[in-house]
Chain A
C-alpha cells in the first residue's frame, strides 16, 4: 500500500508501512548504513505525519515482515491479545501518543494493555514521541519480576554487578564482586561475561558465584553470560545455574545468526525452571538485545533498527524473563554514531520494552570509537533513572577490562540513588543493612577495614 503526504508544493510518497516507519525514525547511522533512513529532515517529518494518521490496526493487517517468512512475526500475531487491545483499538498512532500521555494511562491501564500491543505499535508511537514523552510514559509502566529478590517495584533501581576479568581469573573476579557488594550493588544479578567459552571455565565461574551467594546468604542470583546451549549442557552436568542467558534479536534470521530458535529458548526456560532455584519466583531468563544486531547479521528485511529492537522485546516477554538488557551503545558508531543517538535509543528502548511488559534495564554504555563520553552516559543514566529503568550495570570504575567498553559504575548507581532517592530491591536492601554495608537510610556506611564480608579475602 502507498502512503502519501503533501506539504506545500511537495508530495512525499512511501511505498509501504515499513518505509514509513524507517523514514519516520529519528536519524541514526545504522538506518543510514542500511540505506533506509529519511533523505532529508522534511521527509522525516512527512513520514511522522503519515504515521500519526495511521490506525494502530494497520500493524495487524500489514505485518512489516511477512507471517510466512519469520517466526517472530508469527509469535507476535499468534499471541496478540484482542481483548487487551480493545481500549486503544480505534486509535491512530498519533491518537495513541495522546492517550499515553493523558491521565487515562495509569499504571494499571498500561499493565492491562501490554499484551494487546504489538512491538510494531510500540515502535511506531515512540517515533512520534520526544524524549520527555518517552520518559513520562515509561515512568508509569510497572513490570515486576522475582527470583531471589523482587525487581521493578516503584521507587527502586536494581544493579547488575558485572565483575568481568580478561582471563576469567577467579580471584580477580571475586575481588570485583566484593568491591561491588561493598558499594551496595548486585541486586539485579551478579552477571559475568566470560572471556572463555570453555564449559569447564564457565562451570568454575558458576560455582564461584553460587558459593558466595550461599555463604553470605545474599538475596540475589548469578549468571554467566554464555550461549543457551552451553547452559543446557552445564545444567546436565549439575552446575548451579540460576539464570539462563541469551542474546536475542527481532527477526528469525538474526536469531539464527545467534544460533537460537524460539523452541531452543523454550527449552532453556523449562530447563532453568526445572532446577527450582528461585526462592521468590520463577523468572529465570536473562536476555540481552541492542539496536543494529539484525542489520549486523544481514537479517533486517529493510526494517529500521529501532522497530526490530522492539520486536526483540516481543520475543523476550514470551519467556517471562527476570531481566532484559538493551546494551545500547555497545555495537559501535556505525549503528549509533554519537552521544545524542545513544541517548535517544536508550530512551526508546526502555519505553518500548516497558510498554510491552518486559523488565527493561539498559547498559548505558559506549565504545571508544563512538563520539560519546562519560558526560553523555551521565545524561542518559539520569534520564533513565527518572523514567524508572528497571536496572543498570555496575562495572568497577565504569571500565570493563574484558569487553573493552565503558558502562556505568558502582559510584554511578550511588549518585542516582542520592539524587532521586531510589532504593534497591527490598530483600537486597535489607541484606545490606544486616551486614552493615549500608546505614538505615540506605546510604553506604563508612568503609572500614576488617568488614566481615572481606574476611579471608584481603
Chain B
C-alpha cells in the first residue's frame, strides 16, 4: 500500500516545490523516489544529448535566415564540462569560416549555442527566432548569418560578433537544467562584442520555455533590450530592463505573463 501525500497537500498548489510528499517511516514513498529519478534523468539527458546542429540549422533556414555552423575549442562534452575556457573560443576552422563569411559590418549577430541543454535549443531556438523575426524586420537591422555553435558557452558570442563586425550580439543558449526546467533557453545580449567581455557587460532574458517565459514575451523583451542597447550604445548593469513599463503604456504590445524573467549576469 502506498503512503498517501500529507494532509496539507492543498498547499502544493501554491508552489512548484516538492511539498506534502508523504512518507514511509523516515523515507520517501516509492512514487516520489521514481518521480525524482525521472526528473533527474530528464535533466541529465538534456546535458548529454548530442546537439543536432544540422537539424537546428535546417529549422532556422526554414524561417528564411542564412545559417553557419561553428564549433568551440572543446572537442567533446567531457572536455566542455571540465574546461569552460575552451567553450568560450571558436575552433580555428570555425574562425576561418566566419572570417570568410564576414563581408560587411552588420547591426546584429545571432548565435544559437547548445550550452548545458541541447534539449532546450532543439525545443525552442527556432521558434523563438520565428517570434523575433518581425521585431528584426520592423527595426530594419542588418543581420549576419545565424551561427549555430556546438560545445559553446555564452562568451563564444563575443568572438563571433567581433569577427562578423556586429554592433550587437544576441546569443541564445541552453541554460543549466534544473529538475523542473530541463529545457530552459536563455538569451544574452552584448553590445560591441569582442573577446574579453565580462558577464557584467551583458543583459539576459532567462527561463524561456513552455512553463516559463513565452516566445512572444521573450521576443518582446529581447527586442526592447536590443533597441535600447543600440540607442544607448551599451549593455550590462547600466542597462536596466524596463520593457514592462513600456508594455503598460502600450496596450497593443504583446502581453507579458505573470512570471517575469529574471535578469542575471
Enumerate chain A interface residues (CB-CB to B < 8 A): 29, 32-33, 163-167, 169, 171-176, 178-179, 182, 195-196, 333-334, 337, 367-369, 373-374, 395-401, 403-406, 409, 411, 414-415, 417-418, 443-444, 447-451, 454, 457-458
Interchain residue pairs with CB less than 8 A apart (28): A167-B259, A167-B260, A172-B14, A172-B15, A174-B14, A175-B15, A175-B17, A175-B19, A176-B15, A179-B20, A368-B43, A368-B47, A368-B182, A369-B176, A396-B17, A397-B18, A397-B28, A399-B17, A399-B36, A403-B178, A404-B181, A405-B178, A409-B18, A414-B26, A418-B25, A444-B23, A447-B6, A449-B7
Taken together as a complex, chains A and B put the C-alpha atoms of A399 and B179 apart, in Å, by 7
A374-B36, A447-B7 as given contacts; A401 in contact with B27, CB under 8 Å = no
A33-B83, A415-B27 as given contacts; A368 in contact with B176, CB under 8 Å = yes
Enumerate chain B interface residues (CB-CB to A < 8 A): 6-8, 10-12, 14-23, 25-28, 32, 36-37, 39-40, 43-44, 46-47, 81-85, 116, 176-182, 207, 259-260, 262
Check A415–B26 contact: CB distance below 8 A.
yes
The distance from the CB of B103 to the nearest CB of chain A, in whole angstroms, is 36
Check A334–B81 contact: CB distance below 8 A.
yes
Query: What residues of A have a CB within 8 angstroms of the CB of B37 in the complex?
Result: 374
Check B262–A368 contact: CB distance below 8 A.
no
Check A165–B17 contact: CB distance below 8 A.
yes
Check A369–B83 contact: CB distance below 8 A.
no
Check B18–A195 contact: CB distance below 8 A.
no
Check A368–B180 contact: CB distance below 8 A.
no
Check A404–B178 contact: CB distance below 8 A.
yes
Nearest first, the 10 A-B pairs at minimum CB distance are A397-B18, A404-B178, A172-B15, A414-B26, A449-B7, A179-B19, A175-B11, A368-B43, A396-B17, A418-B26
Closest residue on chain B to residue A173 by CB atoms: B15
Check B10–A458 contact: CB distance below 8 A.
yes
Query: What residues of A have a CB within 8 angstroms of the CB of B25 in the complex?
Result: 418
Closest residue on chain B to residue A32 by CB atoms: B82
Check A411–B23 contact: CB distance below 8 A.
yes
Check A369–B116 contact: CB distance below 8 A.
yes
Query: What residues of B have a CB within 8 angstroms of the CB of A367 in the complex?
Result: 176
Check A401–B26 contact: CB distance below 8 A.
no
Query: What residues of A have a CB within 8 angstroms of the CB of B83 in the complex?
Result: 33, 334
Closest residue on chain A to residue B260 by CB atoms: A167
The distance from the CB of A53 to the nearest CB of chain B, in whole angstroms, is 33
Query: What residues of B have a CB within 8 angstroms of the CB of A400 in the complex?
Result: 178
A175-B19, A404-B178, A411-B21 as given contacts; A333 in contact with B82, CB under 8 Å = yes
Check B17–A401 contact: CB distance below 8 A.
yes
Check A333–B81 contact: CB distance below 8 A.
yes
Query: What residues of B have a CB within 8 angstroms of the CB of A164 in the complex?
Result: 17
Taken together as a complex, chains A and B put the C-alpha atoms of A166 and B262 apart, in Å, by 9
Taken together as a complex, chains A and B put the C-alpha atoms of A92 and B13 apart, in Å, by 59
Taken together as a complex, chains A and B put the C-alpha atoms of A32 and B180 apart, in Å, by 32
The distance from the CB of B242 to the nearest CB of chain A, in whole angstroms, is 14
The distance from the CB of B24 to the nearest CB of chain A, in whole angstroms, is 10
Check A401–B180 contact: CB distance below 8 A.
yes
Check B36–A169 contact: CB distance below 8 A.
no
Check B23–A182 contact: CB distance below 8 A.
no
Taken together as a complex, chains A and B put the C-alpha atoms of A417 and B181 apart, in Å, by 31
Taken together as a complex, chains A and B put the C-alpha atoms of A448 and B22 apart, in Å, by 11
Query: What residues of B have a CB within 8 angstroms of the CB of A396 in the complex?
Result: 15, 17-19, 21
Check B21–A369 contact: CB distance below 8 A.
no
